[in-house]
């Protein structure tokens, strides 16, 4: 069994994927991990769409310049939130997506999220809605590419504890 701290430390954003698609049970397990994330008042405002249709993935990848990498992913998750279910739906989704990304890494998969939600504009969300019908009351938070990694990113440079701990009181 892998140590959770090692999984956290070694996880990277993977933007290049092998052609072979992982089995659907592994893909669903990543979403299942997201279901165990904390949420305000246990509101669980999350929903997911799993996209494996290549034409739809190509269109989704055009949502913004930093989602172009999605075009090579065998699967794309569209992460959705019902903003009426929680007054902290955005924070709730951040927790859920981190659980999803960590589970993907623990299973030997690579994943990376591309932001769709933008508090200043609905343009990206509108783009996704043109590809896949999603009700207006559901917010589109991110699109996550997932598959077997076809790259090995460099180790992540992080700040030291001394740099981030302001005080111990």
Domain with residue 36: its CATH number is 3.40.109.10
Question: Is residue 97 in some structural domain?
Answer: yes
Burial of 140 by CB count in 10 Å (0-12 exposed, 13-18 middle, 19+ buried)? buried
Question: Is residue 4 in some structural domain?
Answer: no
Q: What is the pLDDT of residue 1?
A: 61
Look over the chain and give the mean of its residue pLDDT values, rounded to a whole number. Answer: 97
Q: What is the pLDDT of residue 146?
A: 98
Question: Is residue 120 in some structural domain?
Answer: yes
23-32 average pLDDT score = 98
Tens of pLDDT, residue by residue over 117-169, are 999 999 999 999 999 999 999 999 999 999 999 999 998 899 999 999 999 99
Question: Is residue 5 in some structural domain?
Answer: no
Question: Is residue 75 in some structural domain?
Answer: yes
Question: Is residue 1 in some structural domain?
Answer: no
pTM for the full predicted model:
0.95
Q: How many domains does the chain have?
A: 1
Question: Is residue 112 in some structural domain?
Answer: yes
Please answer whether residues 46 and 96 qualify as being in contact, where contact means their C-beta atoms are separated by less than 8 angstroms. yes
Domain that holds residue 75: 12-164
């Amino acid at each position: 069994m892998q140590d959770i701290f090692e999984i956290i430390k070694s996880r990277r954003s993977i933007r290049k994927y092998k052609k072979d698609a992982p089995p659907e049970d592994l893909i669903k397990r990543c979403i299942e991990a997201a279901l165990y994330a904390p949420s305000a008042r246990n509101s669980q405002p999350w929903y997911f769409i799993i996209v494996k249709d290549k034409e739809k993935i190509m269109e989704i990848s055009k949502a913004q310049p930093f989602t172009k990498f999605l075009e090579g992913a065998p699967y794309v998750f569209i992460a959705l939130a019902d903003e009426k279910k929680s007054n902290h739906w955005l924070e709730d989704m951040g927790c859920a997506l981190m659980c999803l990304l960590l589970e993907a890494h623990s299973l030997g998969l690579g994943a990376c999220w591309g932001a769709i939600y933008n508090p200043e504009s609905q343009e990206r969300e509108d783009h996704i809605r043109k590809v896949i019908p999603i009700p207006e009351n559901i917010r589109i938070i991110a699109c996550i590419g997932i598959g077997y990694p076809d790259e090995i990113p460099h180790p992540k440079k992080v700040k030291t504890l001394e740099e981030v701990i302001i005080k111990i009181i």
